């Protein structure tokens, strides 16, 4: 399967316009944002757990990263309410689910070789540096109405809009820009809260080649 698998092309998805697709597990549905591979894949997805739903126990061979957007995500390690950011390093194992339902933004098989960092950060959607480990940088960015930021050229970035807006983005938008150019963001009249990730779009073809056949 290949969904937005051209990592030279920009992508802008308004997820509110996209259908939810059932996953292999009852009660768990998803919107696939990018994907290269089958059930074991480089993947970025919006995943929704119905109340009482659960995935079977599994190991993340290529690592997992997610942000809880709504509700409470749960596994045998604890409860993760909305605003919690989690990195599960390659080789970690869990049984995810949600007693009352939740929605998460999740990325699979995107850790760099040598990245073994796991963490749990409870942000309450406040401005927060979530990860800056030499491989990639992840943060929650909070801008006041009309505020703008300029960042130096990076090898692409990815953004999920949590609330507010920019000149081009609205809540629920997922954006991936792969070109190496400066990042310029200006908040709209309601301000802007977004999840931003940089550094992870280098050497994508070589990293895709590591996926299990």
Strand partners, 78: 75
- List pLDDT tens digits, range 160-175: 999 999 989 999 999 9
Mean predicted confidence (pLDDT) in 72-99: 96
- Looking at residue 81, what is its pLDDT? 98
In a domain, 162, yes or no: no
Number of H helices, E strands in the chain: 1, 18
- List pLDDT tens digits, range 197-206: 999 998 899 9
In a domain, 174, yes or no: no
* Interatomic CA distance for residues 17 and 204, integer angstroms: 28
Domain of residue 56, CATH code: 2.60.120.10
**Other C-beta atoms lying within 10 Å of the C-beta of residue 74:** 20
In a domain, 69, yes or no: yes
In a domain, 92, yes or no: yes
In a domain, 70, yes or no: yes
* Interatomic CA distance for residues 148 and 70, integer angstroms: 27
In a domain, 130, yes or no: no
Structural domain range at position 46: 19-123
In a domain, 156, yes or no: no
Handedness of CA 146, 151, 156, 158 (dihedral sign): negative
Cβ-proximal residues to 205 (8 Å cutoff; 6+ apart), any chain: 7
CB contact at 8 A, 69 and 103: yes
Percentages of the chain per state (helix, strand, coil), in multiples of 5: 5, 60, 35
Strand partners, 79: 74
Instruction: Count up the domains in the chain and report the number.
Output: 1
């Amino acid at each position: 399967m290949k969904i937005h698998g051209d990592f030279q092309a920009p992508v802008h998805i308004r997820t509110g316009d996209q259908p939810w697709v059932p996953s292999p597990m009852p009660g768990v549905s998803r919107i696939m944002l990018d994907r290269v591979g089958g059930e074991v894949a480089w993947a970025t997805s919006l995943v929704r757990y119905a109340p009482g739903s659960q995935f079977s126990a599994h190991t993340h061979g290529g690592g997992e990263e997610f942000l809880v957007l709504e509700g409470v995500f749960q596994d045998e390690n604890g409860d993760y309410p909305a605003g919690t950011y989690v990195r599960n390093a390659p080789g970690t194992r869990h049984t995810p689910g949600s007693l009352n339902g939740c929605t998460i933004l999740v990325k699979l098989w995107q850790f760099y070789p040598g990245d073994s960092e796991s963490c749990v950060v409870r942000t309450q959607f406040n401005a927060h540096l979530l990860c800056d480990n030499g491989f990639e940088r992840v943060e929650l960015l909070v801008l006041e109405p009309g505020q703008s930021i300029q960042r130096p050229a990076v090898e692409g970035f990815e953004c999920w809009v949590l609330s507010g807006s920019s000149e081009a983005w609205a809540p629920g938008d997922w954006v991936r820009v792969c070109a190496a150019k400066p990042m310029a963001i200006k908040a709209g009249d309601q301000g802007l809260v977004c999840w931003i990730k940089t550094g992870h779009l280098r050497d994508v073809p070589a990293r895709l080649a590591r996926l299990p056949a």
